[in-house]
Amino acid sequence: MIAQAQAHASSGGAPARKLRVAHVITDLTTGGAEMMLLRLLQAMDGARFEAEVISLKQTRPVGDRIAALGVPVRALGMKRLPSPGDVAKLVRWLRGGRFDVVQTWMTHADLIGGLAAKAARLPVAWGLHVGKLEPRTHGWTALAVAHVNARLSRVVPDRIVCCSETTVVEQSRLGYARHKMLVIPNGFDLDALKPDAAARASVRAELGLAPDALLVGQVGRFHKQKDHQNFFAAAHRVLARFPSVNFLLCGRDVTWENPQLVEWVGGARARFHVLGERQDIPRLSAALDVACSSSSFGEAFPLVIGEAMAAGVPCVVTDCGDSALMVGATGRVVAIRDPAAFAGAVEELLALGAGGRAALGAEARRRVEERYELRQIAARYHALYQELAR
């Protein structure tokens, strides 16, 4: 929760004025940037900072969780394209809010929030939370806005926060001002994400599995970016060597009503547990023996991999986005669209046995603690805001 302590000036004990930060985000549906904003606000130093969140579109469902922290949330109610009235209203809100800094999140908010911040004469940090922008993933409109942002990046933002090293490389190629970029990766709350024997037992019970059943899983919506075809092709190879292994999948459209998924499962349906969208991803991740990411394009910094690592679960990932950098030597990294290599990596981890996987998982958690622990990441945002507010 937000810290409740009050800062006092060293000279006399009078309360020091907190820096007020406006977070402007495209919307507050469940996604990587939205969840990172929520986590940042949870870790915010309430003695030094106050925050308000402005969504260009709507506020649910993540806005409800932000409001529960005591952080004001409001929505501009923008439709597909912003009107001059929308932009004027945002400028009024920023001017009237006594803000010191504006932080924008995602491509459309970078453009609209950035221009509004400049009109309100406030310093602004853009937030880039994508790897390579792809029309098939992000849409042509987002790509067009990104090209506009690239041109404006030399004059609108004071700094550009990138969530991954991949983001820096790909957005620099698009034309963004490289000299303004800094990397602040996503962060993970190690008090909330941890090895959990109870989760292992309860998830297996929910799926009707034995307590010691091997469970390999992947979390992610059904989309070409996630390359489920690669995952299923690899899974069938794994079953040939480990016929008792089980696979857990969840995410939007990852259901038995999906005919393409059913086709890829084929006759091995008893070994696949397909759960659709879930709200208990940390619990499911902590139950796995091996966590997977089979993505073939478009990744930046996959939260689900960091969450599994924090829970002490070794990972097999494709070399997409910052996945390889995240995992390091604590898991296995394979080329994209290579189901034979993917299967071999999973088999290698399964062959280690429970003790070998636990040792790798402990290394994975230490890697998160050293590189991506939430309080450390929040402190880097705090330092940025203090720099911009000077």
Q: Are 317 and 338 in contact (CB under 8 A)?
A: no
3-state secondary structure of 313: coil
Which own/partner pairs from 325-329 qualify as long-range (CB within 8 Å, at least 24 positions apart)?
325/164, 325/165, 326/301, 326/302, 326/367, 326/372, 327/364, 327/367, 328/367, 329/363
Q: Which residues contact 71 (CB under 8 A, 6 or more apart)?
A: 2, 41, 51, 52, 53
- Residue 138: its pLDDT value, please? 63
Q: Which amino acid, 333? A: V
Cβ burial 289-324 (10 Å sphere, 16+ → b, else e): bbbbbbbbbbbbbbbbbbbbbbbbbbbbbbebbbbb
345-382 pLDDT, tens per residue? 999 999 999 999 999 999 999 999 999 999 999 999 99
**CA atoms in the 13 A half-sphere facing the CB of 370:** 9
Average confidence score pLDDT of the chain: 93
Query: What residues form DSSP beta bridges with 54?
Result: 24, 74
Closest by CA to 97, choosing from 85, 89, 105, is: 89
Rounded to whole angstroms, the maximal C-alpha distance in the chain is 74
Domains of the chain: 19-187+373-389 (3.40.50.2000), 197-371 (3.40.50.2000)
36-84 pLDDT, tens per residue? 999 999 999 999 999 999 999 999 899 999 999 999 999 998 887 778 8
What's the token pair of residue 78? 């923008």
Cβ burial 70-100 (10 Å sphere, 16+ → b, else e): ebebebbebeeebeeebbebbbebbeebebb
State yes or no: pLDDT of 104 exceeds 60. yes
d(CA 368, CA 323): 13
d(CA 340, CA 350): 15
3-state secondary structure of 248: strand
- Residue 109: its pLDDT value, please? 96
